[in-house]
Amino acid sequence: MGDDPGTGHDKLRKRSDSAKPLSRSARIRRLLFGAPRDLSDRSILRHISLIPVLAWIGLGADGLSSSSYGPDEAYRTLFTLHHGSHTYLAVALAGLTALTVFTIAAAYSRIIEEFPQGGGGYVVATKLLGPRAGVVSGCALLVDYMLTITVSIAAAADALFSFLPPAAPGYEEYRHASKLAVEVLVILFLVALNIRGVRESVLTLTPIFVLFALTHLVLIVGGVAAHVPEIPATARSVYGGFSQGLTTLGAGGMFLLFVHAYSLGGGTYTGIEAVSNGLPVMREPRVQTGKRTMLYMAVSLAFTAGGLLVCYLLWDVAPVSGKTMNAVLVERLAGRLPFGRTFVILTLLSEGGLLVVAAQTGFVDGPRVLANLAVDNWVPRRFAALSERLSAQNGIVLMGTASLLALWYTHGDVRRLVVMYSINVFLTFSLSMFGMAHLWTRIRAGRPTWKRKSALFLCGFLLCATILVITTVEKFTEGGWITLLATASLVVLCFLIHAHYRTVSSKLARLYAELEKVPHTATSPPGDPDPTQPTAALLVGGYSGVGIHSMLNIFRAFPGYYKNLVFLSVGVIDSGEFKGEHAIERLRNRTEQTLRRYVDLGRGMGIPSTYRMAIGTDAVDEGEKLCLQVAKEFPRVTFFAGKLIFRRDAWYQRLLHNETAFAIQKRLHWSGLTMVVLPARVEG
């Protein structure tokens, strides 16, 4: 064609946009969520991506914050069973807890190597166990991340309100309502913060993470150091307790008790998968960044969870009504420290604050799992869309809304929420471990490390499956059934949506199969379009029968009138496209290649044709701007677009299929331009 109209018009449109005054709503939106990202900046992904330390803060906070309740639950189980006579098992429990953390983290480091584009448990299960297992894993993760947000915020509010004096009689409901109001406001704040961008949200919450790390380092190191002289006596006590346990319970009974406590402390390991899910937001090289982040998370979580269990034993911590084990431990240690009361306040506030940071994992990874499901047509495709800030805005809003509903249903009861969300993460862990073990036993030929890696994943599968089964049985009547019901319902919904998309695609493929073979009728190529002649501008997506059908319909409906064809397309940057520093350039090239095929088709039919294109995150906004520019270049233009029309209209069709054509038509009509929506009829 000899020209590159897309680039020039992109620049012209950018200059005109910058000069256009913003409306009041646009100014408010920009104040809350920030200015749009500059998509022409080739280094944009580097500016919004996370280095290992920031990824550790943004994605590792969920895992590290679980040390606030995971070790607590496990130790309480040892203490409350058999009148506290088996807390000596805390030493073995601390060792196995650390070993489990490193085992799961090592397994997910191998998963990062095999799946460098991210996706975590959903992608692993889909690729290795099939789409059905993948959608189960994906739905389990969605419910888990939604509950991660809810339980983190509810626990943080509990920590905050625990510093206030008890409510006076008659004011309990007022206090409870105030706590719920605070929780709602925090969730809304995190929604707005994450729409601004992942990097911005992580940087904002970094001081809280640092404070938690420092206070708990002092707590664990100081707690062990203060009892160094008593370690021999504690060791003798542990040995004596172990011997007595063998006598009273027997080896089998003691083993069952230990496994019971170990499984009920399974909340300790939640959040480890977040790194593999969040690879798309990490700095290149992603695999190295992800593995380093996983190492940081594993070391910090194993040290904190295992160290707290050892300190509980050394300080002979016992459950106190209304207080966590950590609170009891901190208060005891503070009695030996200068500024002890200040240390207690800072430590417990940092725990509450880190739980807020942990909610970030739900907002970072939940929308990404949703986007992966959308790209594969399991949920409405709009959840793969990115905002002008390049965040998964629809997914963020959905996760926030679902978290608010869960908060309302449970009234912010942390114990109920922990029970509800502790199951799904181990369902995903188990599927991922089993899938990877199956992979390495299947491809062992020529792979000298297959035995070691197969053993790693088999060990991880046994650990995760054990926790899953025991937790489900123990907690089923305490709220576990709600999680299972919600997950199963979501799986069924995903299958229904996928069946709809598959049916529509097959019908369209059969209907327009012959159109892609339209013969060239022109004896010689026509010249360039004449801007003074009547022009038909057709908005198209990919090169398909629907686009060709729409083009032919223009000339059937208006025979002999239009002398020019201009094909318009917006390359939409969504979660399926925005992967890697060259993603935008690849999208631009692919969009241009599609348009050139349409131009060749039009010219082959003897019609002077050209194309114009744009790249952006919102098809409607970019499509409107593109049409306005074309209207200036071709004054006698009429715009056209194709739209799926169903014989039987249903309420869900608007949710599952975009309304881009009608939305652009409405805007162009307001600007005084003519646009015709051409039907692409679908039975059903």
Average pLDDT of 664-668? 89
Do 649 and 607 contact (CB within 8 A), yes or no? no
**Quick one: pLDDT at residue 304?**
93
What's the CA dihedral at 299, 304, 310, 316 to 10 degrees? 180
Strands 535-539 and 564-572 come out as parallel
Taking 60 as the threshold, does the pLDDT of residue 309 lie above it?
Answer: yes
Confidence class of residue 85 from pLDDT cuts 50, 70 and 90? low
**Quick one: pLDDT at residue 640?**
94
Taking 80 as the threshold, does the pLDDT of residue 655 lie above it?
Answer: no
**Quick one: pLDDT at residue 47?**
47
Q: What angle do CA 359, 410, 212 make, to 5 degrees?
A: 30
CB atoms within 10 A of CB 87: 24
Over the range 548-565, which residues count as b (16 or more CB within 10 Å of their CB) and which as e? bbbbebbeeeeeeebbbb
For 588, which DSSP code?
H
Confidence class of residue 220 from pLDDT cuts 50, 70 and 90? very high
**Quick one: pLDDT at residue 28?**
56
- Does residue 477 sit in helix, strand or coil? helix
**Quick one: pLDDT at residue 504?**
82
pLDDT digits (tens, 9 = 90+) for 339-364: 888 898 888 888 888 887 778 778 87
pLDDT digits (tens, 9 = 90+) for 246-296: 877 788 888 888 887 887 777 778 778 778 877 777 777 788 888 998 899
2 dihedral zone (left: phi>0; alpha: psi -120 to 50; beta): left
Alpha-helix residue ranges (DSSP H) falling in 340-449: 340-375, 393-410, 414-421, 424-442
**Quick one: pLDDT at residue 205?**
66
Distances (CA, A) of 333 to 219, 328, 467: 7, 9, 32
CA distance 10 to 81: 69
**Quick one: pLDDT at residue 102?**
93
pLDDT higher at 129 or 241? 129
Q: Name the residue type at position 276.
A: S
Helix axis angle, 90-114 to 450-475, nearest 10°: 120
Q: Which residues face 329 on adjacent strands?
A: none
CA distance 651 to 657: 11
Shortest CA distance to 568 belongs to which of 596, 537, 544?
Answer: 537
Q: Both tokens of residue 27?
A: 């100014």
**Quick one: pLDDT at residue 612?**
93
Could you identify the residue written with the tokens 């027997």? 250
pLDDT higher at 525 or 294? 294
Taking 50 as the threshold, does the pLDDT of residue 225 lie above it?
Answer: yes
Do 513 and 545 contact (CB within 8 A), yes or no? yes
Q: Name the residue type at position 577.
A: E
**Quick one: pLDDT at residue 44?**
44
CA distance 281 to 378: 23
Taking 80 as the threshold, does the pLDDT of residue 406 lie above it?
Answer: yes
Instruction: For the chain, give the mean pLDDT.
Output: 79
**Quick one: pLDDT at residue 534?**
93
Q: Which residues face 676 on adjacent strands?
A: 640
Q: Name the residue type at position 371.
A: A
Options 3.40.50.620, 1.20.1740.10, 3.40.120.10, 1.10.10.10; CATH of 54-499: 1.20.1740.10
Taking 70 as the threshold, does the pLDDT of residue 507 lie above it?
Answer: yes
Average pLDDT of 642-668? 78
pLDDT digits (tens, 9 = 90+) for 568-611: 998 876 544 444 456 677 788 888 999 998 998 888 888 999 99
Taking 90 as the threshold, does the pLDDT of residue 628 lie above it?
Answer: yes
**Quick one: pLDDT at residue 194?**
75
672 dihedral zone (left: phi>0; alpha: psi -120 to 50; beta): left
pLDDT digits (tens, 9 = 90+) for 94-107: 999 999 999 999 99
pLDDT digits (tens, 9 = 90+) for 467-494: 888 888 877 887 778 888 989 999 999 9
Taking 80 as the threshold, does the pLDDT of residue 515 lie above it?
Answer: no
Which of 57-71, 77-91, 211-225, 377-391 is least confident?
377-391
Over the range 406-443, which residues count as b (16 or more CB within 10 Å of their CB) and which as e? bbeebebbbebbbbbbbbbbbbbbbbbbbbbbbbbeee
pLDDT digits (tens, 9 = 90+) for 123-156: 888 888 999 999 999 999 888 888 888 888 887 7
**Quick one: pLDDT at residue 1?**
39
Do 325 and 67 contact (CB within 8 A), yes or no? no
Q: End-to-end alpha-carbon separation of the chain, Å?
A: 41
Taking 90 as the threshold, does the pLDDT of residue 38 lie above it?
Answer: no
CA distance 116 to 279: 7
Q: Where is mean pLDDT largest: 110-119, 544-553, 632-641? A: 632-641
pLDDT higher at 623 or 44? 623
CA distance 196 to 188: 13
What's the CA dihedral at 269, 192, 187, 60 to 10 degrees? 10
CA distance 461 to 582: 37
pLDDT digits (tens, 9 = 90+) for 429-461: 899 999 998 888 887 766 777 888 888 999 999
**Quick one: pLDDT at residue 610?**
93
Taking 80 as the threshold, does the pLDDT of residue 521 lie above it?
Answer: no
**Quick one: pLDDT at residue 152?**
81
Q: Name the residue type at position 117.
A: Q
Helical (H) or strand (E) element with 638: strand 637-646
Residue 637 burial (C-beta neighbours within 10 Å; 0-12, 13-18, 19+): buried
Q: Where are the domains of the chain?
A: 54-499, 519-682
- Tell me the Cα Rg of the chain: 29
Confidence class of residue 39 from pLDDT cuts 50, 70 and 90? very low
What CATH number should be reported for the domain whose range is 519-682? Answer: 3.40.50.620
CA distance 309 to 226: 15
